[in-house]
């Protein structure tokens, strides 16, 4: 811990990413109370996919986890990615069934990334990969803006909305590889299914997914 980071900690004390309580130095980005009370998903939040193998999620998208992710996605708290990445890396490491050759993410459209200033799933993938001593690489792009999935109702509507929205960015990179696809929140899995479909048609040999939080 250097002099300047000590000064910075005094001016901007690190806070729990979930409840915003000021943290002790020893804390890893979230507080003891949240460690006890976070909405941890049962069975690692495992959901089977149709196109992808399965998706794991350490948290349910509710309560303090949901409020924190909303600040991360919509209120500029992009630095939460460091803490989220450690949490997600832990659930990937703890699940020996997750086999992959490269780590990637579900991209935002260019338009949305410009208006938000950052791609939250990309930041999450980069920090998760870092915590796994790996790197994350771009495999998909989203040239067109679909309507936000959160504005739509059932799975059929969401699947239709997202169909054709993604393209593979580098088929040579993807060919024959198992891709670990990272996203922040997974609800109906329509987006992950569509991304997996595009990756498999581009030559990927399999897709497995991890999201920070899932619907209950």
Residue 208, phi then psi, degrees to nearest 5: -130, 150
Which lies closer to Zn ion via its Cβ, residue 17 or residue 208?
17
Q: Which of 18, 60, 80, 105 binds Zn ion (CB under 5 A)?
A: 18
Which lies closer to Zn ion via its Cβ, residue 108 or residue 213?
213
d(CA 16, CA 32): 9
Which lies closer to Zn ion via its Cβ, residue 19 or residue 51?
19
Which lies closer to Zn ion via its Cβ, residue 31 or residue 207?
31
The CA angle 174-158-207, to the nearest 5 degrees, is: 25
Q: Structure tokens of 28?
A: 């890893």
Residue 87 interacts with Zn ion (CB under 5 A)? Answer: no
Residue 59 interacts with Zn ion (CB under 5 A)? Answer: no
Q: How far is the CB of 68 from Zn ion (least distance, A)?
A: 9
Between residue 20 and residue 39, which ones bind Zn ion under the rule CB under 5 A? 21, 31, 34
Residue 105, phi then psi, degrees to nearest 5: -145, 165
- Tell me the chain's radius of gyration from C-alpha atoms: 17
Q: Which of 9, 14, 15, 19 binds Zn ion (CB under 5 A)?
A: 19
d(CA 167, CA 61): 28
d(CA 17, CA 4): 22
Q: How far is the CB of 129 from Zn ion (least distance, A)?
A: 25
Q: How far is the CB of 81 from Zn ion (least distance, A)?
A: 17
CB 168 within 8 A of CB 137: no
Which lies closer to Zn ion via its Cβ, residue 13 or residue 143?
13
Residue 125 interacts with Zn ion (CB under 5 A)? Answer: no
Residue 130 interacts with Zn ion (CB under 5 A)? Answer: no
Question: Of 206, 211, 186, whose CA–CA distance to 91 is shortest?
Answer: 211
Residues binding Zn ion (CB under 5 A): 16, 18-19, 21, 31, 34
């Amino acid at each position: 811990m250097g002099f300047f980071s000590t000064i910075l900690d005094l001016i901007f004390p690190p806070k729990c990413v979930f409840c915003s309580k000021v943290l002790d130095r020893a804390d890893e980005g979230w507080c003891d109370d949240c460690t006890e009370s976070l909405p941890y998903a049962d069975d690692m939040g495992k959901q089977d996919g149709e196109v992808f193998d399965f998706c794991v999620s350490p948290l349910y998208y509710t309560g303090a986890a949901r409020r924190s992710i909303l600040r991360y996605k919509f209120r500029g708290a992009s630095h939460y990615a460091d803490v989220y990445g450690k949490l997600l890396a832990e659930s990937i490491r703890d699940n020996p069934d997750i086999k992959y050759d490269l780590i990637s993410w579900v991209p935002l459209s260019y338009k949305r990334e410009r208006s938000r200033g950052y791609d939250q799933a990309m930041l999450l993938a980069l920090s998760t990969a870092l915590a796994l001593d790996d790197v994350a690489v771009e495999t998909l792009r989203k040239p067109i803006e679909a309507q936000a999935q959160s504005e739509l109702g059932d799975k059929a509507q969401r699947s239709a909305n997202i169909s054709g929205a993604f393209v593979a960015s580098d088929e040579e990179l993807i060919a024959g590889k198992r891709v670990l696809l990272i996203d922040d929140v997974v609800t109906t899995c329509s987006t992950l299914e569509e991304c997996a479909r595009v990756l498999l048609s581009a030559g990927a040999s399999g897709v497995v997914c991890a999201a920070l939080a899932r619907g209950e």
